[in-house]
Chains A and B, each alone.
Chain A
C-alpha cells in the first residue's frame, strides 16, 4: 500500500527535528483547540496548616507502630497457637492468627507509607520532557556504520559459502538436543498399550477399592457397582495406569429396558451390564448413574450416555459410546469378563482405528 493516498505527512509533535511520520487517516483539524497549559495549583491542607501536617505525621508514626506490633504479634501467635496434631481447630487458629497479624503489619505499613507520600511529600506534579524513541540521526548513522565496518572486517556478506555453512551449522546444532528428549517415555510403542486393558477371559469383576469379587446375585435392580479387575490391587507397578483403562461401572436394569444390538446378546447377564467408566471425550470417570432414567453423566463436560442403548451419547461433546465389557457368570456365581474390551477405551487418539 502506498502513502500517497493518505493525508500529507504531518510533523511528528514529539520532536521537530526528526523526520515527519505519516499520520495515516487521522483528522488533523486546522483550528484544533489549544492546550490551556497547567491549571493553578491547589495546595493541600498539610501544605497550608502546619498543625494538620504535624497531626498527619503523628498518625503515620502511629501506623508504623501498629505494624511493629503486628509483626511481633505474629511471632507471639506462632508460639501461642501451636498445632496440636489431630486438632483441626488448632490448625485453623494458627493459620488465622499468624496470618491476620502479618496482614495487619503489612497493611499498616502500606497505609502509612502511602499516606506519607500523598499528604506530606512534595505535592506538586513535575514535568519531564519526552524524547523521540528513535535514536538521533548521528547515532543511527554511527550504528549503521558500525555494522558496515564489522561486515567489511569479517567478510560476512562477502564470504557467502562461509556464511551459509555457519548458519546451517547453527540451525542443525540443537537437533541432537531435541532427539535426546525421546527417552522421556519408554521404548515401547504406546499404541498397543492404549488398545489393551487388564481385562481378559475369566477375570473376575471386583469392588473398587477393596478388590473383593462380585456375585451376580449381589447386583440388584438399580445398583451401581464401581469395578476394578481382579489382581489390580496386587500389581507391583502400573496400578493407576491399569486402573485408568480398566475402571468399569456395573449396573442392573430390567432386561426389557435394554436395547441390545445384534452380536451383543450375551454380553450382559439378566440385565446386568458393564461399561467402561472412562469417558470417551477426554477421559474423566463417567460415573453419575441415574437409576430411573438410566442416563450416565460425566461431570467434567456434561457428556451423557444412555445405558438402555448401549451407552450411546445423547448430549455433550463426546462422540463414541462407552465400550461395553462382555461379562458372564462363572460356576461359583461370580461375575467374570468374557474377554478384554473389543475397542480401545477412553479418549480418542489418532491411531485408534488403525
Chain B
C-alpha cells in the first residue's frame, strides 16, 4: 500500500515560471512560517489519516451544529434584550399589542415579527440546539457500543461527558431566555426542585432568582451563562477533545490491513478536509432547511410568563425530558417532616437517580477496565455483538433513559392513544424497572446469537441458495466459503474469560478479588470465542 511519503502539496511541478497566484501564496506562506513555525504544524497534521465509517461522523455533526449555533446565536445577541423590566409590547403581533411583558419577551417578539430573517435565525438557532444535543447523544452511544472509551481514550470520554452536560445546560439556559409561559413554567419547576433540596434549598433558590420567584434577575443571569461562561467552557473542552483525538488518533473497525499499530483511511488534505468541509455545509443546510419549513417554539402563542396561566402539554425541550419524566413517575406522598425539616423525597429521589445515572455513564470505562484488568491500548473498535454484556448494559441504560424520557410526555401519550394518564404512568413506572432488565437479556442473547452466526459463516461459509443433489440422492445447500478478506472481520475480535481466583500467599482470597471474579463471570461467562486458524483449517476440509 502506498505510504504517506507523497510529493509536497502545492509545490510547482513544472519548470515554467510560477503564476502570480502561486507567487503570492509562496510569499504569504513564508511570511507566516517565519513568524509562527506553521510549517511544522502543516507537516504534523496535513497528511494525518482518518478512517472512514459513517458512525465516525456523528461527533462532527455535533461540532458543526455547534458552529451553526454560534453563528445564529451571535445574530440573535444583536437584537435580544436580556432584561426583565416590564414593558408594554408595541410590535406587529396584534394579539399581544399593549400586553405587559418583560423586555426579553418583547425583544424576542420583535426578532420574530419585525426583523427580516429574525424568525429564521431564531428557528435555526433552536433547531440547531436540538440537533446538537441529539448528535452528542448518538455520538456517545457509538463510542460506548464500540468500546472506543477504552485506554487511551478514558480521559476523552470524561471530556465528552462534560460536553454533554454542558450542552444540556446551554439548551436549558437558552430556551428560558424569552421569558415566555412555557419556559417560565420550566423555571418555576426548577425553583420548586431547588427548594426541595434539604438544608440549603431555600437559600439556593433565593440567591439564584435574586429574591422570591420569579424576580427580575434570572433572565439576565441565565443570559450571562448562556452566551459567556458556558460557551467558553464548551469551546475549551471541544479544543481539548479534538486535541486528544488527534494525539490518540481515531479508532478504526477491524478490516484487512488494519491493525493496532496503524490507521488506514484518508489523509486530512485533501480528501478528509474536503468531506468534512462538505459535511459542514450539509449539516448547516439541513438545519436551515428545517428552520425554513418547520415551526419551533412559537413564543407568541404561549404569551409572556405569568404565574397564573399554563398550557396543557407543558414539557421541556427533549433533552431535559428525562428529568421531567422522572419527576412524574414518583408515586404520591413521598414527603415527610422529620427532625424539624421537610424532606421532599419526591424531589430528592429523582435528583439522586438522575445524578447516579450520569455518574455511571461517566465512570463506565473505569468499571469495565477494572473488570477486565486489560491495560493495553485499544485502537480497533469493537463490533457491538462482540462485547455482549457491554452492549446489553448499554441497551438497559438506553431503555432506562427512554422510559424516563417517555414519561415526560405522559399526558400527550394519553390523549393520542386514547388512554388514561394514570394508566400510562403506572405502565411507565413498571417499565422503569422491568424495561432495562428485559432489554438487557434480549440484547445479550441477540449479540451471542449473532456471534454464533458469524462463527458459523466463518467456518462453513454462507448459504449460497444453490441446492445440489448428490449422486447418493442427498440434497445439500452449497455453502460459499468466504475469502480471507471477508472472513477477517468475523474472526479478528478478542474475547475475555472470567477471572480465576487464586488464594494469595497467606492462603486467603480477598474480598475485592472475589467480587471482581463474580463481576467478570457475569460479564464473560457466556461467550463465543472467535474461530482460530486450526478450526478454519479443519472446517475447510469438508
Contact = CB atoms under 8 A, between A and B. Distances in A.
Direct A–B contact present (CB less than 8 angstroms): yes
Interface of A: 1-6, 10, 12-15, 21-29, 31-39, 78, 82-83, 85-86, 91, 94-96, 98-100, 102-107, 109-118, 121-122, 124-130, 132-133, 181-182, 184-186, 190-191, 193-194, 208-209, 226, 228, 238, 240-241, 243-245, 247, 277-279, 281-285, 287-288, 299-303, 313-320, 346-354
A126 B266 contact: yes
Nearest to A350: B341
B199 A284 contact: no
A110 B281 contact: yes
Contacts of A12: 376-377
A319 B293 contact: no
4 tightest Cβ-Cβ pairs between the two chains A and B: A282-B192, A99-B292, A24-B373, A110-B281
Contact of A191 (B202, B310, B329, B500): B202
A91 B119 contact: yes
A206 B123 CA distance: 39
Given A95-B120, A107-B282, A113-B278, A85 B114 contact: yes
Contact of A25 (B259, B342, B373, B531): B373
Interface string B334-365: 11010011101011000000000000000000
A130 to B, nearest CB: 5
Given A10-B376, A107-B286, A127-B49, 5 more contacts: A13-B376, A31-B534, A299-B313, A302-B422, A353-B341
5 contacts: A29-B530, A99-B289, A121-B270, A184-B210, A277-B308
A128 B346 contact: no
A319 B1 contact: no
A349 B202 contact: yes
Contacts of A303: 332
A317 B421 CA distance: 13
Interface in B524-542: 524, 529-534, 536
B4 A126 contact: yes
Given A241-B212, A299-B313, A14 B377 contact: yes
Contact of B281 (A6, A24, A34, A113): A113
B181 to A, nearest CB: 10
- Give the dominant DSSP class at A's interface: loop
A133 B410 contact: no
B78 interface: no
A77 to B, nearest CB: 10
Contacts of B446: none
Contacts of A2: 504
B248 interface: yes
Contacts of B312: 288, 299
Contact of B188 (A10, A78, A284, A299): A284
B444 interface: no
Contact of B374 (A23, A39, A185): A23
Interface string B274-292: 1101111110111011011
B330 interface: yes
A350 B332 contact: no
Contacts of A301: 324, 327-328
A125 B1 contact: yes
B449 interface: no
B314 interface: yes
B288 to A, nearest CB: 4
Given A6-B373, A301-B328, A302-B410, A112 B274 contact: no
A78 B119 CA distance: 13
Contacts of B114: 83, 85
Interface stretch (B165-173, B224-232, B430-438, B485-493): B485-493
B202 A302 contact: no
B370 to A, nearest CB: 8
Given A33-B487, A94-B117, A113-B277, A126 B256 contact: no
Contacts of A314: 332
B331 interface: yes
Given A241-B211, A348-B335, A300 B3 contact: no
Interface stretch (B16-24, B28-36, B233-241, B508-516): B508-516
A113 B274 contact: yes
A300 B49 contact: no
B520 interface: yes
Contact of A128 (B4, B117, B342): B4
B189 A126 contact: no
B476 interface: no
B484 interface: yes
A6 to B, nearest CB: 5
B261 interface: yes
Contact of A185 (B94, B210, B372, B504): B210
B487 A190 contact: no
Contact of A13 (B261, B288, B289, B492): B261
B113 interface: yes
Contacts of A241: 211-215
Contacts of B379: 14, 130
Contacts of B494: 26-28
Interface string B308-331: 111111100000000010011111
Given A26-B374, A26-B494, A349-B201, A129 B289 contact: no
Contact of B310 (A106, A185, A300): A300
A209 B100 CA distance: 11
B20 to A, nearest CB: 23
A298 to B, nearest CB: 9
Contacts of B249: 128, 130
Contact of A130 (B206, B261, B520): B261
Given A127-B49, A133-B152, A39 B280 contact: no
A26 B307 contact: no
B2 interface: yes
